Structure 1
Amino acid sequence: MTNINVVGYVVLILGMMMGTIQGGTYEDVYNLRTTLLTSYDADILPLDDQSGSLNINLSMMVFTMPEVNPVQGAITMGVMVTQEWYDERLTWTPSDHSGTMIISMKSGNIWTPPLTVSNPITFTLLDSSWMQTKIMSSGKVMYTVGGIIQFSCSFNMKFWPFDKHICTLNLFPYGYMVNEVSFSVPGTVVDTSIYSENGEWFLDKDSFNYELGTVFGMNEIAYSFKIARLSAFYLLTVILPINGIGMLTCLVFLLPTESGERVGYSITIMLSLAVFLTVTAEELPKNSEPLPIITVYILFNLAICIIGLLFVILNWILFNRTEKDDMAEIYKSTVRFTRRKWCKRKIRDDPPRKTSVVRINVKSKKKFPDFGDEIADEDIGWKDVSEAVDKIMFVLFVVVTYIPSIIILIYTAAASGYIKG
């Protein structure tokens, strides 16, 4: 929402609240104003009995929430607060003043509550001497204040970008103790009928509530509300790309070792994940209580990528060994394990090697492979070992990458709930 629109809303609502002066001529209103302000001091609580307490009825309207900044722990919100109270020093009989029942007066001329934000980013006083008040003959005063204010909220980013928060806007009458000024909310807690939606955050309009308390010995009212991040943008720009990069990490073991591109491919993937980690860190507060699950998720993928790079390098060493290097039994067992399920099909498709074990049909004198026998150890080379390791690593990395990823994402989205900041 632009500043022009905000000002328009303020002017419109103030115009509706202020109304017009009812009855009497200019001189009648001037004489009434002079009479009311005679012996009136705006610095004194407007009670005949100064040992009493002044009650103020509050009604709030929220019309915009242009910015939510979890990194700074700040919310910017456009609010208007209408305060109503009875000023015992500002009463008159309308018939004595040509029927004048309501007059308007600048707030600097009479006593007004110094309504202050108690959890601000910078000190904020919702009061100004140029604002108008509406005064009725019964002494009832209506005073509307507000604007674009910025206040603090503690954001729990554990479930980012599916995070939900409960924040509060706290107000108190600066300088007046509990026994002097008190608050009450007689009607609707907060009016959101003209609220303008935020493109990144959802504001639950029905979640507004209030709680009365004290701060520094003064009465305080805390307006609480719920906000939730609209996660579709981050789902498309962060979560899905990270999953895609995780898939590419597994595919490195399908690249031919002879290509010589495996190490560079793995390093590129690792750097891509590091970039995503940097982008995510810019969106999160600089604290570790609690640590966002998405950060752990990216670090997990980065660790998998680093481990994959190590296996690629070690497998490259195996691939380049010669027949002169002795081969341990564990390497041969690895090859036998990967060939056990498909060696029969391979033998059918390929002609048997010279060292393969065959049986002779006495009648036909034809030779055919013995599918029940194992391939001879002499047939296993270091390239076969490298190929077997690639197959095992591919399956293992698919399992290790995707099962934890699915579990983490489902948990993050499902377990996210409104957390009070």
Structure 2
Amino acid sequence: MILLMKLVFLCCCSKRELVSAFTLQDEANLQASLLAGYNKDLKPGWDRDVPLQINIRFALFSIKEFNFNTGKLSMTGLFFINWTDERLAWNPTNYNHTKKTTIPQNKVWLPEIINVNPYDDLTGLRQDHLTISLQYNGVCRWFTIQSFEVVCDADVTKYPFDTQTCELHFHIWGYYSHEIDLVISSSEIDLSLYVENSIWEIRGATLISPSLKYSKTKEIVVKLEMKRRTPYYVVSLIIPIIAVSFLMAFVFILPHDSGERVGFSTTVLLSIIVYLTIIQDLLPESSEPNISALGYVLVTYVVNGSFVVVEVIITSRFHRNSSENPVPRYLRCIVTSLRRMRRKNVSVKPIGTCSKINKTDNDENGGDENSDVQWGEVLTLFDTLCFAFTLFVFFMSALIYLCVVIT
């Protein structure tokens, strides 16, 4: 008995589906009836005092390119737009229970949505090959996919640890806000179909409709917050720059007799200049809002390296003339002053050694303390000071850059 009831139920359902299934001729008759006398130049809505409500949401497919030099952002996205056109409503029972149909978009009214910050020419969402999905209650669903090229000014202050915010601005062209009301169905941009970009990571994607003080039209803004993927730049740019710049100070440890000081310092300086050239080619030429902090660091390293080359040349000249010329008096005073400072910092000696120390001090104080200063001691002191100063500039520049990119 139960099995028989199930069979009867299935037969009834199948019969109902067969009855409700519409044919090609039914859909053709429906479209012919809907488009007869239809004027696509007139905005939908019987009551012209009530604004037409258009619901909109956005899905991001991919980010193709973001060129810093030109400020060009290329991306592909899909708009989901729907509204109600009472002229396109029908009774399904009159057309063999036909509840939906699809019509080419060039045959019905469409909202003229224009991208107002394009990179080249103004572009709209209309595409000749797209269609409109119609429901029997007059609801029109428009799914328009398009590639957008917009202007986005980059802030490269923290490059390559930067985060960029780009916006796409869209206006309803030809209608004021009291005629068309744009309603955002979802403020969150749909990323379910998004294909990850190898350079940029999406940190935030929102769809907003800001209020405009000096315009009577509605605006839709697609706002993207993108963070650069940094591992490649750390490995190929940051680490080599740090390693090469760190070598600059160690030129003062090389022996003077080796003859390699000038060549070593010049090679390191040229390497830093090469990295500076690479960064300048990657970044835009504009100075607004800021120049890259990494560029400032490299310029500091270049200036520091130039001073190092000059210092090396000076010490090489002093070393060559050390056997012919005596040490100038001001250099001897500096060396002897440092000797006294070091002597004050010497730890306390046992009592048995005090007589020797006092005797040595008396001998030195009794004679000319500056007379035994040699060029070798002067050059060693100069190399020590230059080594410490070069390392200080290197670490301070790196620390300042680190503070800038972290904050």
TM-score of the superposed pair, with normalisation by structure 2: 0.83
Give the residue type in structure 2 aligned to 1:149.
F
Give the residue type in structure 1 aligned to 2:146.
G
**Contact 1:57–1:185 (Cα < 8 Å) also in 2:** yes
Asked whether 1:250 is paired with 2:249, we answer yes
* Distance in 2, Cα, partners of 1:372 & 1:414: 58
Write 1 or 2 for the structure with the bigger share of helix: 2
The equivalent of 1:387 in structure 2 is: 380
- Change in CA separation of 1:380 and 1:261 when aligned onto 2, cut-off 3 Å: same
The equivalent of 1:43 in structure 2 is: 41
* Distance in 2, Cα, partners of 1:402 & 1:161: 19
**Contact 2:156–2:162 (Cα < 8 Å) also in 1:** yes
- Change in CA separation of 1:167 and 1:317 when aligned onto 2, cut-off 3 Å: same
Give the residue type in structure 2 aligned to 1:196.
V
Deviations along 1:119-144, whole A, 9 cap, x unmatched?
11133222112211110111100010
Asked whether 1:405 is paired with 2:398, we answer yes
* Distance in 2, Cα, partners of 1:229 & 1:193: 21
**Contact 1:134–1:141 (Cα < 8 Å) also in 2:** yes
Q: SS of the counterpart of 1:191?
A: coil
* Distance in 2, Cα, partners of 1:322 & 1:303: 29
The equivalent of 1:222 in structure 2 is: 221
**Contact 1:334–1:388 (Cα < 8 Å) also in 2:** no
Q: CA deviation at 1:329?
A: 2.7
Give the residue type in structure 1 aligned to 2:325.
D
Alignment of 1:263-282 (within 5 A): 263-282=262-281
CA RMSD across the alignment: 2.8
**Contact 1:76–1:148 (Cα < 8 Å) also in 2:** yes
Which ranges in structure 2 are unaligned for 5 or more consecutive residues?
1-19, 344-353
The equivalent of 1:396 in structure 2 is: 389
* Distance in 1, Cα, partners of 2:47 & 2:375: 100
Alignment of 1:66-145 (within 5 A): 66-122=64-120, 123-145=122-144
* Distance in 2, Cα, partners of 1:238 & 1:340: 46
Give the residue type in structure 2 aligned to 1:41.
N
- Pairs aligned (count): 373
TM-score of the superposed pair, with normalisation by structure 1: 0.81
* Distance in 1, Cα, partners of 2:58 & 2:66: 20
Which ranges in structure 1 are unaligned for 5 or more consecutive residues?
1-21, 344-358, 362-368, 416-421
* Distance in 1, Cα, partners of 2:178 & 2:99: 31
- Change in CA separation of 1:159 and 1:188 when aligned onto 2, cut-off 3 Å: closer
- Change in CA separation of 1:23 and 1:119 when aligned onto 2, cut-off 3 Å: farther
- Change in CA separation of 1:372 and 1:277 when aligned onto 2, cut-off 3 Å: farther
The equivalent of 2:7 in structure 1 is: none
The equivalent of 1:194 in structure 2 is: 193
Q: CA deviation at 1:146?
A: 1.4
**Contact 1:92–1:137 (Cα < 8 Å) also in 2:** yes
* Distance in 1, Cα, partners of 2:253 & 2:188: 62
* Distance in 2, Cα, partners of 1:209 & 1:113: 18
**Contact 2:187–2:207 (Cα < 8 Å) also in 1:** no
* Distance in 2, Cα, partners of 1:98 & 1:50: 33
The equivalent of 2:351 in structure 1 is: none
Q: CA deviation at 1:379?
A: 3.3
Give the residue type in structure 1 aligned to 2:272.
L
Partner of residue 59 from structure 1, selected from 47, 57, 60: 57
Q: SS of the counterpart of 1:89?
A: helix
**Contact 2:248–2:305 (Cα < 8 Å) also in 1:** yes
**Contact 1:334–1:389 (Cα < 8 Å) also in 2:** no
State percent identity of aligned pairs: 25
- Change in CA separation of 1:267 and 1:324 when aligned onto 2, cut-off 3 Å: closer
Q: CA deviation at 1:333?
A: 3.5
* Distance in 1, Cα, partners of 2:340 & 2:89: 100
Q: SS of the counterpart of 1:379?
A: coil
Deviations along 1:254-290, whole A, 9 cap, x unmatched?
1112222212222211111111111111221111121
